[in-house]
Amino acid sequence: MIPTATLRLPAAWPLGMLFAALSSRLGGDAERLPEDDILRLVEQARAGDTGARRRLYTQHVDLVYRTVRGMLRSDADAEDVTQDALLTALTSLDRYRPRADARFATWVTTIALNTARRRFRRRRPEITATGELPESAGDAADPADDFDRARQRRVLLAALAELPERDRTIVSLRYGADLNASEIGAIVGIEAAAVRKILERSRVRLGARLGTRSGGQP
C-alpha cells in the first residue's frame, strides 16, 4: 500500500471534491435530476418505458460506483458490483415504495451495499488500482487535470482503507451517494445523531491523513 503521508493534497480539496474524482467509466449523467423527476422516471420505467429505465441507470451509476469503490479492491470489482446492483434495482422496481424520509437513491445504494458485502465479504480494500481516469469522450482533455484527478483517487482510496468498515461505509454514503444523516442511519441501522458524530470524527481523521481541510456539512 502507498503510504498516505507521501500523497498529501492541497488544503483546498475537501472530501466532496475527492469523491467526485471516483466517477466511473460507465456513462453516468453529469447533473442530478430533482427527486420528483426521478420518481416520474421510476413510474415510467415500471410501465415499460426503456428510455426511463436507461435514464435511471445513468442517473445512479456514478453515485453507486463512488459509494462502493472505497470498500472494494479495484476499479473492476467496483464496476462489477455497480452493474449487478443497478440490474437488481432496475428489475425490481415493482418492489420499491417511495418514502417521505428517503430518496430513491437510498434504496439503490442499499442494494449496492448488500451486493458488495455478499460478493466481497472477506476482502479489505487495498490500493490496487493505478489511478487511471474514466475514459473521456473529448479529445481536448488536459493532461494536468488527468494527473490531479488520478492523484485525488489514490489518496482518497488509501485513506478510506484505513478507516473501520462502518465508518468507511458511512463516509462513502455521505460523500459518494450524497445521502443525509437520516438516510444513512436507515441503511446502517443507527440514529442520525450517531451518523453525524461518526462523520465528524472520520472527516477529521481523513483530513489529518490527507492534509486537506475537512470542510462541508457532516
149 and 21 in contact (C-beta within 8 Å)? yes
- CATH number of the domain enclosing 9: 1.10.1740.10
16 is a domain residue: yes
Is 13 among the domain residues?
A: yes
**Average pLDDT value over all residues in the chain:** 81
Contact call for residues 97 and 106 (beta carbons, < 8 A): no
What confidence tens digit (pLDDT) does each residue in 54-73 have?
Answer: 999 999 999 999 999 988 88
Domain total for the chain?
Answer: 1
Give the whole-angstrom CA distance, residue 101 versus residue 120.
Answer: 30
Residue 215 lies in a domain: no
Can you tell me the distance from the alpha carbon of 55 to that of 76, in angstroms, rounded to the nearest whole number? Answer: 23
> Is residue 163, in this structure, part of any structural domain at all?
yes
Q: Is 205 a domain residue?
A: yes
Structural domain boundaries, residue 169:
4-125+144-210
CA distance 212 to 210: 5
pLDDT at position 16 is 76
pTM assigned to the model: 0.79
For residue 29, tell me if it sits in a domain.
Answer: yes
Indicate whether 204 belongs to any domain.
yes
The string of pLDDT tens digits covering residues 71-129 is 888 889 999 999 999 999 999 999 999 998 899 999 999 999 999 988 766 555 444 44
